[in-house]
Amino acid sequence: MIAKLWASVFFSTIFPVSAFADTQEIVAECRTQGTSLPGAVGGCDSQVSRLTAPEGYALLRESLKGGLVEKNGSENDCRIGWADYVDVIPGVTQPRTITLQAHARSPKGHGFGRGWTKCKYTVEMVKLPG
């Protein structure tokens, strides 16, 4: 834990976000069928949205901002994943790819309406040294 914190502080010192960063946005959303008259709840998962930094760039995990921006129903979730880690400096890695998937379930009850989830995040992309 201390090593990760140190790496984050060290990385932020070498690459101040304001000096080199480019803000990227990723969005995912889904809508369910309405709850049926007998009370069967519908669910949905959006397609996975993917944002990959070009070669020579990385995404700063620590800069991730955002979350759930619209919701309705009995269950709402924004599922984030990170992949394609690259060495920034020896012992410090950052991802090149972020994935996002929205999940929703319609409201509980009999004959209720639809459920939905909309997720929106921003993340900073920085140029790697070299």
- Residue 114: pLDDT band with limits 50, 70, 90: confident
Cβ–Cβ < 8 Å for 48, 76: no
For the chain, the structural domain boundaries read 2-127
Range from 5-9, 31-35, 40-44 carrying the lowest mean pLDDT: 5-9
How sure is the predictor about 20, in pLDDT bands with cuts at 50, 70 and 90?
A: low
Q: Give the residue, 9 or 124, on which the prediction is more confident.
A: 124
- Whether 12 has a pLDDT exceeding 60, the answer reads no
The pLDDT score that the predictor gives to residue 6 is 41
Tell how far CA 7 is from the center of its chain: 22
Is 103 exposed, middle or buried, given 0-12, 13-18 or 19+ CB atoms closer than 10 A?
buried
